Amino acid sequence: MTIEGLIEAWRANEAINKKLLRLCSDADLDLKPGKGKTVRNNFTHIIACRRSWAGQALPNEAKTIKTPDARTATRKQIEHGLEMSSKVMEAVFRKLCKKPGRGKWARLTFLAYTVAHDACHRSQIEIALRINDREPSDRVLGRLWNWTE
């Protein structure tokens, strides 16, 4: 896989995050799947983890990622955090592709790990919406994956 292919895969993951955020109303941000994280907290957690991961590879760039407050973050702050953290993660992937790596920091392994992490939190968001009778239709959920477009 080329670096451009890896970045394209990362951007597809990020597009799904952004589409899911757009599906959530401002009131939805406070919903929880039982005792778990709120929708807002799931999004801010994704941003915080990206900042942490980036800090290991690109500490100066990681400092540019502002992690929104998990209890009070606005939609705009979450959108900005996702955008900034995604760009920094692209730089991390580019750095990893310049040198061979092993284990958690091998480029494809790390991509799989980060995408799986985001997907786990997207599923928690979807569960929170379902439990609270705010589940989007199958057609709308299908659009997250471009199945109906």
pLDDT of residue 2: 84
Rounded distance, CA 19 to CA 44, Å?
16
Q: Above 60 in pLDDT, residue 129? A: yes
pLDDT of 43 > 60? The answer is: yes
CA distance 120 to 77: 21
pLDDT band at 147 (very low <50, low <70, confident <90, very high): low
Residue 101 has pLDDT above 70, yes or no: no
Q: Give domain status of residue 149, yes or no.
A: no
| Residue 32 within a domain | yes
Q: What is the pLDDT of residues 14-34, one digit of tens each?
A: 999 999 999 999 999 999 988
Structural domain for 43, as ranges:
3-144
The pair of structure tokens assigned to 78 is 């979450």
- Please give the structure tokens belonging to residue 82: 């996702």
What distance, in Å, lies between the first and last C-alpha atoms of the chain?
A: 27
Q: Is 107 helix (H, G, I), strand (E, B) or coil?
A: helix
DSSP assignment of 38-72 equals: -HHHHHHHHHHHHHHHHHHH-HHHHTT--PPPTTT
The CATH number assigned to the domain holding 26 equals 1.20.120
Look at residue 51 and tell me if it is in a domain. Answer: yes
Does the residue 87 lie in any domain?
yes
Q: d(Cα 128, Cα 113) in Å, to the nearest integer? A: 23
* pLDDT at residue 105, rounded to an integer: 65
Say yes or no to pLDDT of 145 above 80: no
Query: Per the domain annotation, does 50 fall within a domain?
Result: yes
CA distance 59 to 70: 22
Cα distance between residue 74 and residue 26, in whole Å: 8
3-state SS, residue 89: helix
The answer to whether residue 73 is domain-embedded is yes
Q: Give pLDDT tens digits for 56-94.
A: 999 999 999 999 999 999 999 999 999 999 999 999 999
Arithmetic mean of pLDDT over the chain: 90
pLDDT number for residue 9: 94
Domain count, the chain: 1
Tokens of residue 87, six digits: 């760009």
Mean pLDDT of 129-141: 84
pLDDT at position 104 is: 55
